[in-house]
Amino acid sequence: MRAFWLTLSIQVALCYCHYTYEPDPTWNIRSTNELKDKNFWYHDAQRTVFDKLAQQPNLYLAKNVIFFLGDGMSVPTVTAGRIYDGQLKGQIGERNRLEFEKFEYVGLSKTYCVNKQVADSACTASAYLSGIKANYLTIGVSADVQLNDCASAQQPEHRLSSIAAWAQRAHKSAGLVTTTRVTHASPAGVYAHTSNRDFESDKDVHDLGQNPSDCPDIAQQLLEGVGKNLKVVLGGGTKKFLPNTMTDIYGNVGDRLDGRNLIEEWQQSKHQGNARVVFNRTELLNTDLRQTDHLLGLFNASHMAYHLDDSIDTPTLAEMTEAAIEVLSSNPLGYFLFVEGGRIDHAHHETKAKKALDETVQFSNAVKRARRLTDPWDTLIVVSADHGHTMTINGYSDIDNSITGLSSELSDIDNLPYATLSYANGPDYQRFYTAAVNGSVERVDLRNLNIGDKDERYPHGVPMSEETHGGGDVAVYANGPWAHLFSGVYEQNTLPHLMAYASCIGPGIKACDLRPNPYNTYRP
C-alpha cells in the first residue's frame, strides 16, 4: 500500500512538470460575445492555473538588471493603459495585457517618504535607486539633509550610493534612459546628490537663492563620479548642459551662467574608446553602437515631446532602450540599466489622461523591446512606478466603452454625462463647472468638450494649479533571476536591495554569498 501511494505521488509530481493546457490561449478577443460563454471563463482560469503550476523560481545570478520606472504609473493608469492599448488594436481592451503584465511575479511597493504621506519623484528615486527613504524634494541624500541645505548635502556621511554605483564597483556597466530631461528627478537619482531636485543647472541654483559653488548642480554631477562612468545617457535637456551664449542644433539657447559646455566636456572626458554624442533619431539609428562604448543622446532642449505630439526626428523610448542595451551588452560582466517613461506623470499633472495612457503604452513597448533583446535566464527585469496619481476609473460604463471617452451612464443627480477617467484635483476648474443663476455650482455638459482628444483635460474635483500625485501603493512586476522575491507588500526602498541581491552587487546580502550553491553562477 505504501509503495502504491509513493508511486502515485511521484507520478503526480512528475506529471505536473509536463502538463500543459491545450485550449488556445486567447488572451485577446475581438467580440464581447465570447465573454458570455461560460467555457471561455472556465478554460481561461484553468490555463492560468496550469501556467502557475509550471512556474519555477529562477535561482541563477542576474548578470544584467534593467529597472523600468513608469513615473506616476499608478495601478489605475496600468488598467486604463491596457484597455486603451487593446482598443487601439481593435480588441476587447479589458482583456488586453501590457508587456509587463505577462511577468510571473507581482508585488506592491509603499511609496511614502520620510516626511510626506504622498511622495514626489525625488525622495522616491532615493528609495528605489539607493535603498534609503529620505525627504521630499531631495535626491541621493539621507533624511539628515533638509530641503536646500547645500552644506549638509555635501557631507560624505549624508550621501547615498545608488545601485548604478554598486554595479560600477562590481565592474559592471551602468546607463540611463528617460523621456524627461536627463537632469530631472528620477534619472538624477542614478548619479546625483542634491538638497533640491530643482537644482538642474547652475542658473537654477542661483535662481533658487543658493550659491552654485556650494551647491553643485545636477547637470554638472553627470560629469563626476558615478555620472562620469555611465556608459549610456539618453533623454532630453540640452539647455541644462549649454551656456547661455550657445544654442543647440535646434536653436535653443542654453541655461548655464558658468560658461561651461558640458556636452563638449563630456565628450572630451572620454579619453579612450569611442564616445558618441547624438541629438536626433537619425543620428542615433545611424550610430554603430557595437563600436560605441560611451553614448550621450540629448533629443530636446527640455523634456522629450509626448509621443502623441509632433517633434523633430525623435527616437521612441523603445528605440532608446534598444540602443542602450546594445552599448551596455559589450561588458561580459553585465550591466544595470535604468529606463524611465517619465511623461506619464506630466500628462497626469495636466489631467490629460489620454496622453498619460499613450505614454504608458510607449513604456510597455520599451519593456517589450528589452525582453526581445535579453535572455530571461540571465537578465532580471523589474517594472514599477515611483508614486501614483489621483486618476480614477469611474463606474459603470458598459464593457468595451471607449476608455478615454464619456461614460455610457449619466449622473443620477444632475443627469449629465461624466468621463470614465477623472481626477481628484487639477487645473482649469472653470472648464468643468459653471455658476448657476441661484449661485450654486453646476457641472458643464461634457458633450460640449473634446473628451477623448489628446489635449483635452479630464474633469476633477478640487482646483489646483496642477494635479497632484496620489499616495496609493504602486505595483512591482518582475521577471528573470530571483523575480519571485519581488512578490508581497514592502517598502519601496527594498527594491534596489532585491535587485542587488539577485545580481550580486552592493553592500548587502547577495545571492552569491550562499555557498555551496549549485546555482551560484550565470546560467551556462
Ligand X SMILES: *[C@@H]1O[C@H](CO)[C@@H](O)[C@H](O)[C@H]1NC(C)=O
Using only the alpha carbons of the chain, give its radius of gyration: 24
Question: Which of the stretches 144-152, 185-193, 200-208, 435-443 binds ligand X when contact is defined by CB under 6 A?
Answer: 435-443
Closest residue to Zn ion, judged by C-beta, is 345
Which of 198, 202, 217, 345 is close enough to bind Zn ion by CB under 5 A?
Answer: 345
Q: How far is the CB of 386 from Zn ion (least distance, A)?
A: 8
Q: How far is the CB of 137 from ligand X (least distance, A)?
A: 24
Measuring CA to CA, which residue among 109, 231, 136, 112 is closest to residue 499? 109
Please tell me whether 184 is known to bind a ligand: yes
Strands of 64-70's sheet, edge to edge? 275-278, 294-298, 232-236, 173-181, 335-341, 64-70, 379-385, 474-479, 105-110, 488-491
Q: Is 382 left (phi over 0), alpha (psi -120 to 50) or beta?
A: beta
79 binds ligand X (CB under 6 A): no
Nearer to ligand X, 92 or 295 (CB): 295
Partner from Zn ion, ligand X, none contacting 345, C-beta within 5 to 8 A by type: Zn ion
Q: Which is nearer to ligand X, 263 or 337 (CB)?
A: 263
How far does Cα 257 stand from its chain's mean position? 32
User: Is there a binding annotation on residue 303?
Assistant: no
Q: Are 64 and 482 in contact (CB under 8 A)?
A: no
Please identify, among the stretches 327-335, 357-365, 423-431, 432-440, the one whose residues bind ligand X according to the rule CB under 6 A.
Answer: 432-440
Nearer to Zn ion by Cβ, of 103 and 136: the residue is 136
Cell numbers that stand for 505 in this block: 552587487
Task: Look at residues 265, 246, 244 and name the one whose alpha carbon lies nearest to residue 255.
Answer: 244
Q: Which helix (H) or strand (E) holds 424?
A: strand 421-426
Window 439-458: contact mask with ligand X (x via CB under 6 A):
-x------------------
Any known ligand binding at 349? Answer: yes
Q: Name the burial class of residue 38, with classes exposed (0-12), middle (13-18) and buried (19+) by CB atoms within 10 angstroms of its CB.
A: exposed
123 or 296: CB nearest ligand X: 296
Which stretch, 75-83, 257-265, 311-319, 334-342, contacts ligand X (CB under 6 A)? 311-319
Cα–Cα separations (whole angstroms), residue 179 to 297, 327, 328, 336, 405: 11, 18, 19, 18, 27
Binding-site annotation, residues for Mg(2+) = 71, 184, 186, 340
User: Which residues of this chain interact with ligand X, rule CB under 6 A?
Assistant: 249-250, 279-280, 282-283, 300, 305, 309, 311-314, 436-438, 440
Instruction: Please give the positions annotated as active site.
Output: 121
Binding-site annotation, residues for Zn(2+) = 71, 345, 349, 386-387, 469
Binding-site annotation, residues = 71, 184, 186, 340, 345, 349, 386-387, 469
